[in-house]
Structure formats: structure tokens, C-alpha cells
Amino acid sequence: MAEFATFRTKRKIGDFTAQVTVEEAHEDDLSITKHPVEQGAPITDHAYKEPARLHLIVGWSNSGDGSSQQSDDYVRAVYARLLALQATREPFSVTTGKREYKNMLFASLSTTTTEATENALIVNAALQEVIIVQTQTVTVPPRDVQANPEQTADTEDAGSKQAVPAKSANKTALNALVSGG
């Protein structure tokens, strides 16, 4: 007797509901500095969260749920819609048995068709989160109304500067001190 799994939680990829979910693999990484961190420094300044990644193996079949309304081209249409969703590059939500992901994109979609799977679509999908942030532009008041413009003012063009070797600069400063100038 063949065994099969029934998932109670609806799995969704954008507006798709897979007929079968074979596998879900979740990956959440934190990038941590390899450099020494000073004692007492906030560790959060030395680590950041990578985008979440999700690997799914999901499937559809032309026989579907047994209704007579499913056509022989059903899996072809589902695959075309998945490829179109990838091509839009618009983030979408994914619901798995473990959690809900927001702002996901298909990094890759793959499927293999054999004689045995001609009327089925088994998709290997790698998804990655797009971390979306909000930014704002701030207008800095003019230099002449700032209490400490050398520290708070906007940058300004000071023209071209010529590099001076350190020994030469020190010698020039020393000569100026000695000559009283």
C-alpha cells in the first residue's frame, strides 16, 4: 500500500496553490564579522541578517483534483504562469507549513519531464527574499546658520589638493616654527 502525505496548511506561492508539496527547505543566515570586536561594543554593529531563502519542490497534475474541468494543458498553463511571475520581478508572498514569507522572488525555477511525468509538473523552485527599506532625504540648513558647520554642514568642493609627502610636510612645519613664521 502506497503512503502519501496530506498537508493541512495551505501552501501558497503568490496566488498559486500547489496540488502537492514534496519538500520545503528554509534557510536564514546571519553574516558575522571575522574581524575582532572591541570588548563592550554592540555586536549588532558587526552582524547583519541575510535575505531569507526558500527551496520548494511542488507539483501539479493534469488530472488535478479529479474534476472534469481540468484540461490536458493545465500543467503547461501553470508552468507558463510561474515563469511569467518570475519574469515580472515583482515580490510576492509565500505561505509554507512553517511560516509566511513576504517580498520573495524566484531565483530559479526548474522542472524535468519524463515519460512518467508528461502529465505532471514537478517544480524545483529556489526563492529569495528582497529586503526592502525606506529612505528619506534631509535638507541641511545653510552653513552660515549652523552653530558648528565644520561638523554638521553639507560637504563642499575645496578644489584640487596636491599630496605632500609626510616627511616634507613635517620639515616645512618645523622650519616654520624655527623661523618664527
- Residue 76 within any structural domain of the chain: yes
CATH number at residue 77: 2.40.30
Total tally of structural domains belonging to the chain: 1
> What residues in the chain have per-residue pLDDT under 70?
1-9, 64-70, 155, 166-174, 176-178, 180-181
Q: Is 55 exposed, middle or buried (0-12, 13-18, 19+ CB in 10 A)?
A: middle
Question: What confidence score (pLDDT) does residue 140 get?
Answer: 77
Question: What confidence score (pLDDT) does residue 69 get?
Answer: 60
Helix (H) or strand (E) holding 125: strand 120-129
Closest CA to 25 of 94, 93, 114: 94
What span, in angstroms and rounded, lies between the C-alpha atoms of 115 and 127?
28
- Residue 145 within any structural domain of the chain: no
Residue 92's domain spans which residues? 12-129
Question: What confidence score (pLDDT) does residue 64 get?
Answer: 63
- Residue 176 within any structural domain of the chain: no
User: How many C-beta neighbours within 10 Å does residue 106 have?
Assistant: 22
- Residue 167 within any structural domain of the chain: no
- Residue 73 within any structural domain of the chain: yes
Question: Model confidence over 105-123: pLDDT tens digits?
Answer: 999 999 999 999 899 999 9
- Residue 160 within any structural domain of the chain: no
Cell 526558500 maps to which residue?
54
- Residue 83 within any structural domain of the chain: yes
Question: Model confidence over 142-173: pLDDT tens digits?
Answer: 878 888 877 777 767 778 888 777 666 566 66
Helix (H) or strand (E) holding 82: helix 74-88
Q: What is the DSSP letter of 141?
A: P
- Residue 57 within any structural domain of the chain: yes
